[in-house]
A and B are shown apart, each in its own frame.
Chain A
Amino acid sequence: MDSIPTFNAEHLQSNMKTVYYSRTFLSIIGGVIAGIMGFTSLTGFIFYFLIMAITSVGLLAKAGFTVHSYFDSWNRVLLDGFLGGLMLCCCCDASAWGLEIDLIFLYQFL
């Protein structure tokens, strides 16, 4: 009978948490940068996908390109947290715009 591959689940969860933190932080940063550069709808999405691609490559490099010793499938390190981060990116993009507009108005009144 074939043995089922077993994993150290606690370490797997810790690795997932690390990936999630990295992606979340970079989504927020990506949103702020897109807001500052004035990227609108399609360009903003393309910019976000670019940031996420860079993050994926960075995470793969951190794992030394041997995904199987740290994760149980490629999808986890490449795609997890992608869409949640998209929401954060849009929120921060909108707040970066809002912040700019507010500060411009305040500056005019001072």
Chain B
Amino acid sequence: MALGFAVGVFGVLILFHAAYSTIQYRGLLKITEEEFSGPPMNVVAELLLGLVFCIWAALTVPGKFLSIQPYSEENRIVSLPANSDFMIFNHRGKVFPLEMDVKLKH
């Protein structure tokens, strides 16, 4: 999570650097009175790199997708209450067969 954030900040810094380079390039073009048709190739490469970093950060930082199916493993409703003083076990449930693969939700 922190790594994704750092990568995102780094990507944005690369974009700012590319913007500054483009501004200087445009200043140079103004001096030589040529038209601005696009930034130079190394700036384009820098922009692509910054874009890749930002895409990776945008997909990693906001968090995982949580399952919405009510019967999936991580959405189990059953959990032990924290206060087990009022739980009794001496009831008729002991005649049911044991389910050995039921997992507890933490």
Contact = CB atoms under 8 A, between A and B. Distances in A.
Interface of A: 6-9, 11-12, 14-15, 17-18, 21-22, 25-26, 29, 32-33, 36-38, 54-55, 58-59, 61-63, 68-72, 96, 99-100, 103-104, 107-108
Contacts of A58: 55, 58-59
27 contacts: A7-B69, A8-B68, A11-B66, A11-B75, A14-B66, A21-B58, A22-B62, A25-B8, A25-B57, A29-B15, A33-B50, A33-B51, A36-B15, A36-B18, A36-B39, A37-B38, A37-B44, A37-B47, A38-B37, A62-B65, A63-B65, A70-B65, A71-B68, A72-B68, A96-B19, A104-B27, A104-B30
- Majority secondary structure of chain A interface residues (helix, strand, loop or mixed): helix
A54 to B, nearest CB: 7
Given A11-B75, A33-B47, A100-B19, A18 B68 contact: no
Contacts of A32: 15, 19
A25 to B, nearest CB: 5
A77 B67 CA distance: 14
A15 B15 contact: no
Nearest to A68: B69
Contacts of A18: 62-65
B29 to A, nearest CB: 10
Contacts of B50: 29, 33
